[in-house]
Amino acid sequence: MFSLKVSVVLSLAASASVLAAVPLYGQCGGSNWSGETSCVSGASCVSQNEWYSQCLPGSGGGATSSTRVSTTAPATTQPPTTVQPPSGITTTLPASAGYTALPTARVIPSSFDGGMVRFDRAGSSGECQGQDETGEEDAVFILESGASISNVIIGKDQAEGIHCRGPCTITNVWWEDVCEDAATIKQTGANDVTTINGGGAFHASDKIFQHNGAGTVKINNFFASDFGKLYRGCGNCATSHERHVEVNNVCFKDGKEGVGINANWGDTAILSNVKTNNKPSAKNACCAYKGVSKGSEPSKIGCGDSQAACQFSESAVGTC
C-alpha cells in the first residue's frame, strides 16, 4: 500500500512538472525571474540578455543556453502567441499585475505576453528625457520584424516605449505617461503592415505613434487621452516614404489632432468609427502636411475631409 501511494504521488508530481513546463516562445529565465525555467520538450531556454530568457526550438528541453541575441542581429520571425484581440475601447488604465524596471531595452524576437505587468526604464539611461531626441537604445521594448507584444503596461519612467524594426503587432498595450513617442514604426516595405489593437495612451505632449518607415499602420479599438497627435507620418526623416494609416473605433480625448500625414508624398488616412470629446474637433481628426527634407520642418496644408488624403467624413465623427 505504501509503495502504491508513493507511486501515485510521484506520478502526480511528474504530471505537474510537465504541465508547468514553459511553452514555446515563453519566458523561462532572467534576472529576478521566479517562474518556471524548464521548457517543453523540443525547446531550450535561451538567454536573450541578463534579464530575459525565452524557450526557443532546439534540443534539450529545460537547458539554459549562453546564446545571446544582439540588438543589431538580423530579424528572426517566429510563430507568434495567439492573443485574442480586444473588440471594444477601454478608457481607464488597467491595474498592473507587477512591476519591472529594465536596465536596457528588451529585444523581442518573436512574441511576448507581459501578463499586464508594468515595465519602464527607471534608474537607467532610458528614463524620460522629455522631447529631447532619443533612440532605439532608450526604448523599453524593441520588436524584431514580425514580432508581437501583448498585455503590457509601459510606465512613465521611459524615453521611448516600443521600437518596431519591421512590421509588428501590438495588442492591448497601455502607456501610463508617454514621454517622446509611445511606439516608433520603422518597417521599410511598401506592403508591410503594423497592427495596433486595443490599449491606450495618456499624456503625450507630441505624438503617440511615430511612423518613420513605409507601408501601413492600422490602429483599432484604441483610447488616446491628453495628446498632441495619435499618429504622425514622419515629415522630415532622412528617407521619405509613402505611408498609410487606417484608424477604426478610436476615442480621442483632450487631444490636438487625430492623425497627421504628408499629402505630397502620397500618404493617406482612412478613419472610421472615430469619436472625440471635441478635443480634437471633428475637422482636426485628420490633417495634411507637406513633407520636406531632413533638417527642415513640414508645413501644414490643412485639416478635415476637404483634404483628399484624409478619407473620412467630419459629420460621421461621434462623441466619447
| pLDDT one-digit tens code per residue, 204-246 | 999 999 999 999 999 999 999 999 999 999 999 999 999 999 9
Residue 90 forms part of a structural domain:
no
End-to-end CA distance of the chain: 68
Average confidence (pLDDT) over 281-303: 96
Q: What pLDDT was estimated at residue 199?
A: 97
Residue 260: its pLDDT value, please?
98
Environment class of 223 (CB within 10 Å of its CB; exposed 0-12, middle 13-18, buried 19+) = buried
Whether 175 contacts 149, CB under 8 Å? no
pLDDT for 8: 37
Pair (125, 257) in one structural domain = yes
Q: Note whether 179 and 218 are same-domain residues.
A: yes
Q: Which of the four pLDDT bands, split at 50, 70 and 90, describes residue 69?
A: very low
146 within some domain: yes
How many domains are contained in the chain? 2
User: What local confidence, expressed as pLDDT, does residue 48 receive?
Assistant: 56
pLDDT at 64 over 70: no
For residue 222, being part of any structural domain is answered with yes
- What the block records as the C-alpha cell of 185 is 514604426
- Residues 35, 179, single domain; the answer is no
**246 lies in some domain:** yes
Structural domain containing residue 30: 21-68
Let me know whether 231 and 289 are in one domain: yes
pLDDT at 162: 98
165 and 205 part of one domain: yes
Same domain, 54 and 107: no
CA distances to 92, 141, 193, 290 from 246, rounded to whole Å, are 23, 24, 10, 19
Buried b (16+ CB within 10 A) or exposed e, 118-128: bbbbbebebbb
Residue with cell 505537474: 16
Task: Give the pLDDT of residue 303.
Answer: 98
C-alpha cell of 200? Answer: 491606450
User: pLDDT by residue (tens digit) across 174-200?
Assistant: 999 999 899 999 999 999 999 999 999
- Give the mean pLDDT of the chain: 85
pLDDT at 7: 44
113 and 58 fall within a common domain:
no
Reported as type and span, the H/E element at residue 74 is none
Asked if 129 and 170 sit in the same domain, the reply is yes
**Which pLDDT score is estimated for 32?**
61
- DSSP alpha helix (H) spans, the chain: 2-20
| Whether 123 and 61 share a structural domain | no
Asked if residue 121 and residue 60 are part of one domain, the reply reads no
> What is the H or E stretch that residue 261 is in?
strand 243-262
Residue type, position 273, single letter: N
Output DSSP code: residue 294: T
Query: Which DSSP state fits 50?
Result: T
Nearest of 110, 182, 97 to residue 145 by alpha carbon: 110
Q: Which three cell numbers stand for residue 64?
A: 539554459
Where is 87: in which H helix or E strand? none
Q: Is the predicted pLDDT of residue 67 greater than 50, yes or no? A: no
Q: How many CB atoms lie within 10 A of CB 234?
A: 24
pTM: 0.75
Q: Is residue 298 part of a domain?
A: yes
CATH classification of the domain holding 286:
2.160.20.10
Residue 9 or 161, more confident? 161
> Higher model confidence: residue 295 or residue 119?
119
**In this predicted structure, what is the pLDDT of residue 268?**
98
Is the same domain home to 44 and 184? no
Mean pLDDT (whole number) for 261-273? 98
In a domain, 10, yes or no: no
pLDDT 10s digits, 1-59: 444 443 433 444 443 333 368 765 567 777 666 778 888 888 888 875 555 576 766 64
Is 84 a domain residue?
A: no
- Predicted confidence at residue 41, as pLDDT, reads 85
d(CA 309, CA 320): 25
Position 84 scores a pLDDT of 52
Q: Are 207 and 231 in contact (CB under 8 A)?
A: yes
Rg (CA), the chain: 22
Query: If phi over 0 gives left and psi between -120 and 50 gives alpha, with beta otherwise, what is residue 221?
Result: left
Task: Answer yes or no: is pLDDT of 158 > 60.
Answer: yes
Task: Answer yes or no: is pLDDT of 107 > 90.
Answer: yes
Q: What confidence score (pLDDT) does residue 25 get?
A: 55
- What is d(CA 18, CA 36) in angstroms, rounded to the nearest whole number? 11
Asked if residue 291 has pLDDT above 70, the reply is yes
Question: Does 284 lie in the same domain as 219?
Answer: yes
The alpha carbon torsion through 213, 82, 181, 191 (nearest 10 deg) reads 10
Q: Per the domain annotation, does 14 fall within a domain? A: no
